[in-house]
Chains A and B, each alone.
Chain A
Amino acid sequence: AQSVSQHNHHVILSEAASLELGCNYSYGGTVNLFWYVQYPGQHLQLLLKYFSGDPLVKGIKGFEAEFIKSKFSFNLRKPSVQWSDTAEYFCAVNKGSSNTGKLIFGQGTTLQVKP
Chain B
Amino acid sequence: SQTIHQWPATLVQPVGSPLSLECTVEGTSNPNLYWYRQAAGRGLQLLFYSVGIGQISSEVPQNLSASRPQDRQFILSSKKLLLSDSGFYLCAYTPGETTYNEQFFGPGTRLTVL
Residue numbers of A with Cβ under 8 A of B are 4, 6, 9, 32, 34, 36, 43-46, 49, 51, 90, 92, 94, 98-108
Q: Is B86 an interface residue, CB under 8 A from the partner? A: no
Smallest CB separation, B54 vs chain A (Å): 16
> Is B107 touching A106 in the complex (CB atoms < 8 A)?
no
Q: Closest chain A residue to B99 by CB distance?
A: A51
Q: Is B61 an interface residue, CB under 8 A from the partner? A: no
Residue numbers of B with Cβ under 8 A of A are 32, 34, 36, 41-46, 49, 51, 57, 59, 90, 94, 100-108
Smallest CB separation, B50 vs chain A (Å): 9
> Is A108 touching B41 in the complex (CB atoms < 8 A)?
yes
Query: How long is the Cα–Cα vector from A44 to B89 in the complex, in angstroms?
Result: 12
> Is A43 touching B105 in the complex (CB atoms < 8 A)?
yes
Smallest CB separation, B46 vs chain A (Å): 6
Contacts of A92 in B (CB 8 A): 44
